[in-house]
Amino acid sequence: MTIAIGERLPDVPLAIATADGPQPTTSTEYFAGKRVALFAVPGAFTPTCSSRHLPSYVEKAQELKGQGIDEIACISVNDPFVMAAWNKADGSEDITMLADGNGAFADATGLDMDGSKFGMGKRSQRYSMIVDDGVVEQLNVEAPGEYRASSAEYMLDQLATA
């Protein structure tokens, strides 16, 4: 069952990808006490994720923070070393890269998908959410093959009308 607006995120292990190596954390610890714009991608360095999804958040980071967002995070079922390399190549210091290496977060939120037909195995769906102190405030899940509802632009529109 997919997590819903108003529900608390499940407590699962994650890793923050940093230039100095992985920093272990949990979802409860990471999201505590702040309002986070979280976006999830099926994979680092994949075409839509690299050409549109991550760049939209890099470009709109300051606007999002101006709308009451404390931190912007990207999560993917990738290891922290891949997430750090992707941030170095295409990201910015404004984006925290969260590695869901075993897919525990994707699975626990019901936002996992089977990418086996693409040779990718278990992955995360493409989505965005606003999380306030660990509670889902907004959730935007993309239809398969789509990219619109999880963009930074869409999130900014939601924040402006909230």
| Three-class HEC string of 78-146 | CCHHHHHHHHHHHCCCCEEEEECCCCHHHHHCCCEEECHHHCCCEEECCEEEEEECCEEEEEEECCCCC
Q: What type of residue sits at position 157?
A: D
pLDDT bin (cut points 50, 70, 90) of residue 91 is confident
Please tell me the least confidently modeled range out of 18-22, 68-72, 112-116: 112-116
Q: Does the active-site annotation cover 49? A: yes
The mean pLDDT of 75-102, rounded to a whole number, is 93
pTM: 0.94
pLDDT at 121 over 70: no
Give pLDDT tens digits for 11-67.
Answer: 999 999 998 999 999 999 999 999 999 999 988 887 676 777 899 999 999 999 999
Considering the candidates 40, 49, 131, 159, report the single residue annotated as catalytic.
49
Q: Say what the pLDDT of residue 43 is.
A: 83
- Taken in order of first residue, the domains within the chain and their CATH numbers are 13-161 (3.40.30.10)
